Every structure is written in structure tokens, then in C-alpha cells.
Amino acid sequence: MVHAHVVAHQFYAMKLLDWLQKILGYAEGFRVVFSEVALQTKAPDQSIVEKILLCDSHLWKSARTHWHRLIISGILMEYDSKKAFAKVFTKNYGPVIKDFMRDDHEHSFSIASMSVQVFTVPTLAHHLIANDDVLFILLNTFISECTRKCNKAGKLEFERNVPTGTFKRAQYILYDLRYLLSAKPERWTDALRKGFLQGISLLLNLMTFMQGMDLVTRQVGQHMEYEPEWESAFNLHIKLAPVLTLALDWCGTDRLVLIKAYRATLKKLYDNPCFDYTQPGEVRELADHSATCIQYDVGTQPVSIHLPLSRFLAGLHLHLEKYGLNFDSHELQISPRPTPEQLIEPVLRTQVSTHCG
């Protein structure tokens, strides 16, 4: 039961929020005054907007809706106040999305859904990437959830009959990343390059968790008693793929960014091989040709279809020609680095096992 005076205060608050929203629709001046008051911070206190962001999950559904509408009509209608709100939202993104993950309401009723209002504006998105570390904040928040799902080998592993509701809700971060990268920059600045490459570094860490996950060994002789849990990993791949495509598009628009992203990807692949570098290759001969090969039997040894690092490097490689670069270009040299044979090894395993299956 709830005391009558509490319910009365709640009704009064709803009426007041509704009245404020109507007032803000009359003139731009009202919206300017409201945004200044709502975004004003007096140390050590938080601004009204910041308090609403951090307390949203504690409010009931109607109160949330009223506050969201008030923010949209009072702050997001003018560019300057929208920019100020975007900075506050980005700063508090981690706690906001964590609250949403623990919440039992749908995403549309969470203040986390306000991301579409700010991250889809190209100028705001570019400003946040360059000046507010938004890619770092979003990816770091998602990776913190991924590390809880990693096995001893450092790969994501999803178990059957284990609740994954929190992790599924965390994947809304990937939609926010799509919003941020939806518009390629026409002009790069040093700050934008730094912010974007910082995001690429974390994106490579995420892809490392996925590279080679869900290893499967070909089953012969008898049926498997239980089918492996593959759906969670596949759904993650489906949601991440558009982010990687957009990131590749961004890399392809700037020579310096492309070079640094390519080198970083090569290093990740070298540091996370699917084979033992000390294992000697075996010489194979066919039709008067001989080659030293990495020995691997896909019929008896595990194979994974999840190779995001390999795919990302292939996507970057397609952009090299437009800048007069190739795999052996001086700008792309790192030491040590994988050879072409080592790069295609995990891909060949998957390709061969698919045809053999």
C-alpha cells in the first residue's frame, strides 16, 4: 500500500510536468530559460538533467514518459541546448545503461533510449567522438559486460540454460554505436582521428573476444546428445556486423586512419593466433608444386565460424588501393607481423570444413 499523501504528490508532479511542457511550446524564450536551469550545475550538486538521467530507473513508467517528453520539448529543440545535453548524456552513459540492464522496463521507456535523439545528429556525433570520448565510453561499457562471459582462453562463451537477459539488454549499446557512425566525416581533424582510433582499439579488443569463439569439432560415429548453444554468439555477430561495416567506411575516408587501423589489426591477429608459431610447417606437393603448410585436420580438430578480426582486416585491405598502398608498403610494416599464409589460415579452416561438412 502507498500512503495517500505520497499518491497526491505523485499526481501533483505529473500535472506540473504536463503544465511545463505546454508552457515550453509557446515560445523559444521559455525553452532557453528552461534548458539553462535544467542543465546548470552548481558544485558539488548535479544538474537537474543529470539527476533525472541517474534516477530514471527508480521512477514509475508514467513519470519517466513525462520527463522524457519534457526534455525533448524543452532542451532538444534548440541546437545549443541539445549539444549541452549530449555532453551530459555521454558523461553519464555508463551508469544510465547499467541501470537499464538491471531494469525490468522496455528500452523505449528508459532514458537510455534518448541516445537516438543526439547520436544520430552528424555534427553532434562527430563532436562527441572528437571531444568527449564517446566511442571509448560506449565500447568500454559493453566490453565490461563481455568480460564476464569470457572463458579461460579469453573468448566469449555462452552456456545453455544460463540467463542472458542482462547481456541482451547490453547489446543496445551496439545500436548506439551505429547511430554515432552513421554519417562519415567529410573533413577529418586530429581530435576526430584520435577519438575514432581510440574507439577502433576497443573495437579490436571486442573482436578478439569473438575471434575463434564457439569452436566446434566435427561429430562422427554418433549423434551429439546436446546441441551447442550457438544462438547467443550468432545474434551478437548479427548486431555487431553493421557497426564493423560503418567503421570500415570511416577508415576508408582517411589515409592516416586507414594505415593506423590496418597496423593495429595486424598486431591483434599476430598476438592472438589460432596456431602455435613454434610449430614447424610441413612440405606438401601437388601437381609438381610444393609448399610449406600449417598442418591442421579440420575433420578431427575444432573450427570456428566466428572470425571478425580476419574479416575486418579483409575489409580494410579493400581500401588500400585508393591510397596507393599494398600489404608490403612501408607504412604498413610492423615487427613482428603475421605472413599472408598465417592470415588466411583460420579462414581456410572454416572454408574447408564447410565444404567437407
**What does each of the 357 residues of the chain score in pLDDT, given as a tens digit?**
667 877 788 888 888 888 888 888 887 888 889 899 999 887 677 899 999 999 999 988 899 999 999 999 999 988 999 999 999 999 999 999 999 999 888 999 999 999 999 999 999 999 999 999 999 999 999 999 999 999 998 999 888 776 677 899 999 999 999 999 999 999 999 999 999 999 999 999 999 999 988 888 776 666 666 666 788 888 999 999 999 999 999 999 999 999 999 999 999 999 988 877 777 778 888 888 888 888 888 878 888 889 999 999 999 999 999 999 999 999 999 988 898 888 998 888 888 877 665
Cα(194)–Cα(192) distance, integer angstroms: 5
Q: Which residue has the cell 557497426?
A: 243
* Cβ proximity of 78 and 32 under 8 Å: yes
Cα(176)–Cα(9) distance, integer angstroms: 35
Cα(34)–Cα(86) distance, integer angstroms: 16
- Give me the pLDDT at residue 227, please: 66
**44: preceding bond cis by omega (within 30 degrees):** yes
The one-letter amino acid code at 261 reads A
Residue 216, phi then psi, degrees to nearest 5: -130, 135
Q: Which residues, other chains included, contact 252 with Cβ-Cβ below 8 Å and sequence gap of 6+?
A: 258, 318, 319, 322
Q: Which residues, other chains included, contact 309 with Cβ-Cβ below 8 Å and sequence gap of 6+?
A: 204, 207, 208, 211, 265, 268, 269, 272
* Cβ proximity of 208 and 153 under 8 Å: no
What are the distances in angstroms from CA 322 to CA 238, 246, 263, 317, 319? 29, 18, 17, 10, 6
- Give me the pLDDT at residue 356, please: 61
Burial of 337 (0-12, 13-18, 19+ CB in 10 A): middle
- Centre a 10 Å sphere on the Cβ of residue 29 and count the other Cβ atoms it contains: 9
Domain locations along the chain? 1-110, 120-280+291-357
- Give me the pLDDT at residue 226, please: 63
* Cβ proximity of 211 and 310 under 8 Å: yes
**336: preceding bond cis by omega (within 30 degrees):** yes
Q: Which residue has the cell 610449406?
A: 292
User: Which contiguous run of DSSP H or E holds residue 293?
Assistant: strand 289-293
- Centre a 10 Å sphere on the Cβ of residue 240 and count the other Cβ atoms it contains: 20
* Cβ proximity of 206 and 143 under 8 Å: yes
- 39 forms beta bridges with none
